[in-house]
A and B are shown apart, each in its own frame.
Chain A
């Protein structure tokens, strides 16, 4: 006796969160069944392995059918085939677009191209994430990138509108897209201590302060081909950064800068005194990095340079200069103190 056909269709589509997780993680049906057995579900429910197998198959089939819709989440909301309560729809979308920290650190800043996709099996081996799951995450990045690439307006808003992600996840994707677009190098060993969250934080600040959108007004020339205001760095601004050299060269300006920065940061920074003591070195490092940003190569190496060529990375500094916030502060500072 073999089961030729075995299906279950509910008027409300049943979504088992645990099975969804296993499916997203890229497990095959048999692996998923084995994992579920190990979770003790059989004992809890008194079901048999055959029941579990049939149930898992059924859910996998449903997810497979839903996947097409998940590629364009608004479709999931408007489609009529699967009746899914809104809260569940949100869960499906959110989980589908969720990504692994380990994976994102591997591809952050890389070009989302076929070439990178070919390296996914290496990433899979390295991170222990199944190849299937890596592919899904990579494809998600790429899909979001493609959709919002040519769009005007706020990056986060665009992502949120077209993929119906939560605010947090949309911000993360904005960071991923931003990094992929500007191809910032993040994979160097020296940068390994930085988490995705650190980079996302930087990305957000850079989007707010360094991009064309951040100038605060639309390009004066309506015919200009500047579509992706939030994704490309403001070239003029980068050019202008060269001017910052005066902050190091001119003693008066250096002191003024120091006092302004210290006033602004007093009480807000755990390592304030160290910062104050080292201000000159710090400032010089940052200004030197900033002044070079006119070359694409140097832009890509921004984070490497920040870590290598500023005292952020001098012996022992990790304890007093924690990670992203300070980098962020310096990034933010850029525009504020730009001589006009």
Chain B
């Protein structure tokens, strides 16, 4: 009995009127956890009840604590008939289970009903007392931290990155159970919400156990997905990267960690049998000095590699050039072995991370992906299939027993795909896959499973059970050739896995690089980029005949390779058109519908300085004798060339100019210089000159041999660049922009179009789809015009085909403003990085004084106006607990002291601002604490669609409510932002004839506390250097 959960129901407000006669409500609350339920008293005749209940105590296993959500139901008491439910609140108590996160959940939660939406709010306080349990065979994994963020969280340091963890659980979908025929939609929705909540809890616990087995203490890049497979069940699956993280609470804690591994022992519970393999802190100090003797020439041993047919992970590919050299001779071999063994031990050397600690990523091979089409009805137990037909009521049988072996089927499917990914990576001479992700698309009984990632060669230091010296890292970084290492090919030049033009790296001139690079990861921080990046999308539709089961699956399988090929070609063309040479954050989504397949690829194009200048696009006609045709071709060619030139200007792709700006960069080498000269000579006839030069080398030739091809070329040119002042990308940060200002606006936009079924040709479809996406983007630019200059970051498109003729596109992104003037001065990545480092150092010093300060805030009295308002809203006085709550909510925001001074009188709102962003950071602010993962699933249904403003009104309100519930949970945890926010699912179904609609939304993210950098300064100025001392000692106390 290792845990005690304590819940207190404080008050409610804005409750709906449940009694028409009195226009009031007699509300009470049921608090349920597991099988135990408590009730509050009925608070008669009030829309703002003050229950102020006792502490309800649940004594539970920590296993249950992890799996079960706390369920709070608000009801209206009715003497004569059944009590009416007002709504529910589900609270995931997981964040309370690890020490560094939240200690209390306390605040106003929206009361949610799946039919009516949000109906008032309830103030709840939740605490957990955990007893230490040293049982090794325990089934719980309390204490393992989860992060959605796909990089090492900002206030942590990666000690070891262990690798891939995955798990899935299967259950029957309550919506398809026999009982659903007799219960109300509300009951069915609630059963579903509860089940999914339970399943995610279980999944998280199981993954946690795997992490503990690997001796990690955290999962980074945790991605959990639901597959709503309909009759065949509900799958909840998750992948992530197990890590051992170390909190950078203060410099005091940071430095000793470098020298004494013993300190770490305390944090990692399973460290009692030290790995004999470890090359830990012992030799680390001498190594630090050796760093300086790094000579790049040493690293070329790799070139004498054997062929890639060798399936074992070969040491030579395993080791990166740069990193191998710097470690020095004697250690090289040892390290190689370690990398190899470290990775070979793993079934799948996959990493869900997209951004890495400096020096982690050595080489990038390219995108690897695998897809497989499966029939869902196959997964059933044969005995079960027999009774599937119409007589569903047979499922009265304990359906859990059926499901017990189902996960294995799904596991096998995924294992198959992962194996394929792994072998693809090997073919690219890489031993690992980074930026790895998995997805599914389901239509009726057909399911497409997809996985993709970026083949890469990693530095073994982070994969070992040893200490990584932070100080070493920094020095290494400076010695590396300025950010081109990852571009160098990891595969053997003579035995290339695919045809590619290799050239010498434009940066270091010593290694070979490919002409284009596609990756699924974020742009590495140290990469040298010229100009700015931009969002590049390939969009594609393919009609498919309606078919059943196997015939359908076969048809889809046959179409897939063509789709992949076309998507790739489109991406390549658009990339060339933008005069860029690399794609980051590539995500290809293939969606299956009844009668069509849709492909949508999004990526961020950039010009990598290390890669060769991309060639232009040349159009070649097939019928050379037709004069007018030829004229047309040349007209097109001119248009394309104009576009390229325009894009170069737009994205500031002007290699020589930028390279001159790089402070301390070596003088351009001869070839670079010649290129420089050439482009300077470009003037009015620039275009033709470009063409000629590239025509000989590697120009991309488009053959126009039929109208289809013509269409393709046209569609290339229809993409309108964003209006001036706008940039967009689907990665974390926009290459070439680094001076973000603090204004951010996260949004979700959904569009559904109905296709006219008359002229459904592939071309018409393509055009419709293209227009849909383009118009959506245009609308976004228009809506956000007040933020100019700004950049849409992490633009995430999701396509689904809810019905025959419907296409749904959902976009979530964040608009961030930036300072245009500063941009001109600091386009240099290097200087910026130094600056960043310096500033983080400062922040770490400053962090503690700030915490002190915010701690002391609650003692400050409220501004009178605020107090006034609050008492106005609630009939009786505010209970003490509630008051404490509001203070706590306000304090981490730093709104207490500094802001009120200058705030206008109207700023007395009691609702704290919670920022949401799909990025892992908040511009202009520092994340000081991670409070835990937010993973929420909501269903909303209506039977009065018209009255709620039609489909748009319904979904608009629902999404707004989802945001509100996420914010409320974050605020209750004491946070003021959600980072790495993602809307993983938005399944919308409508039936306008019946005036009905239903929508399912699944969102996740990391709740954090952030502090504005400007406020950090405010705190630091009154207490200068002296503040350093108390902060250090203070830091030690806290760790």
A residues near B (Cβ < 8 Å) are 1-14, 45-48, 50-52, 54-55, 57-58, 61-62, 64-65, 74-75, 77-83, 85-87, 89-90, 161-162, 164
Contacts and interface: CB of A to CB of B under 8 A. Distances in A.
Interface stretch (B565-573, B681-689, B740-748): B740-748
A4 B951 contact: yes
B701 interface: no
Given A4-B753, A54-B779, A57-B952, A78 B911 contact: yes
Given A65-B957, A80-B108, A50 B869 contact: no
A10 B14 contact: no
Nearest to B959: A9
B960 A55 contact: no
24 contacts: A1-B753, A2-B754, A2-B756, A3-B751, A4-B951, A5-B752, A5-B952, A6-B752, A7-B750, A7-B952, A7-B956, A9-B749, A11-B963, A11-B967, A13-B960, A47-B781, A47-B782, A65-B953, A74-B872, A82-B960, A82-B964, A83-B913, A86-B907, A161-B872
Contact of B782 (A51, A79, A83, A162): A51
B931 to A, nearest CB: 18
A3 B752 CA distance: 6
Contacts of A54: 779
Contacts of A1: 753-756, 768, 771-772
Contacts of B955: 5, 7
B234 interface: no
Contact of B783 (A14, A85, A87, A164): A14
A-B interface, 6 closest residue pairs, ranked by CB to CB distance from nearest: A5-B752, A90-B906, A10-B747, A86-B907, A4-B752, A9-B959
Contacts of A3: 751-753
A90 B955 CA distance: 27
A4 B118 contact: no
B1010 to A, nearest CB: 15
Given A12-B745, A64-B949, A78 B751 contact: no
Contacts of A75: 14
A87 B121 CA distance: 24
Contacts of A47: 778, 781-782
The B interface is mostly helix, strand or loop, or mixed, namely mixed
A273 to B, nearest CB: 45
B967 A80 contact: yes
Nearest to A64: B949
Nearest to A74: B873
Contacts of A13: 960
B723 A46 contact: yes
B842 interface: no
Given A12-B745, A48-B778, A89-B906, A81 B118 contact: yes
B72 interface: no
A152 B1021 CA distance: 49
A162 B869 CA distance: 9
A12 B815 CA distance: 11
Contacts of B915: 11
B293 to A, nearest CB: 51
B49 interface: no
A5 B916 contact: no
B785 interface: yes
Contacts of A46: 723
Contacts of A48: 778
Interface string B766-797: 00100110010011111101000000000000
B779 A11 contact: no
A51 B911 CA distance: 33
Contacts of B748: 8-9
A10 B746 contact: yes
Given A47-B781, A64-B953, 11 more contacts: A3-B751, A4-B753, A7-B750, A7-B952, A7-B956, A9-B748, A47-B778, A55-B782, A55-B783, A78-B14, A83-B913
A146 to B, nearest CB: 14
B904 interface: yes
Contacts of A161: 868, 872
B968 A80 contact: yes
Contacts of B907: 86-87
Contacts of B959: 7, 9
B334 interface: no
A47 B783 CA distance: 10
Contact of A87 (B749, B873, B906): B906
Contacts of A6: 750-752, 779, 952
Contact of A81 (B13, B110, B780, B785): B110
Given A11-B745, A77-B911, A80-B967, A61 B752 contact: no
B729 interface: no
B387 interface: no
A65 B782 CA distance: 22
Interface string B918-962: 000000000000000000000000000000010111011101110
B906 A81 contact: no
Contacts of A162: 872
Given A9-B963, A86-B904, A164-B906, A4 B778 contact: no
Contact of A8 (B749, B906, B953, B957): B749
Nearest to A52: B782
A96 to B, nearest CB: 14
B750 A80 contact: no
B967 A83 contact: yes
Contacts of B745: 10-12, 14
B873 A78 contact: yes
A309 to B, nearest CB: 45
Contacts of B258: none
Contacts of A62: 956
B910 interface: yes
Interface string B847-869: 00000000000000000000011
Given A10-B746, A47-B782, A77 B756 contact: no
A13 B956 CA distance: 12
- Kindly name the residue among A1, A78, A162, A164 whose own CB sees the greatest number of chain B CB atoms within 10 A: A1
B806 interface: yes
B746 A11 contact: yes
Interface string B982-997: 0000001010000000
Contacts of B916: 11
Contact of B754 (A4, A12, A61, A164): A4
A8 B783 contact: yes
B617 interface: no
B860 to A, nearest CB: 19
B960 A9 contact: yes
A162 to B, nearest CB: 8
Nearest to B765: A1
Given A1-B771, A74-B869, A86-B907, A80 B782 contact: no
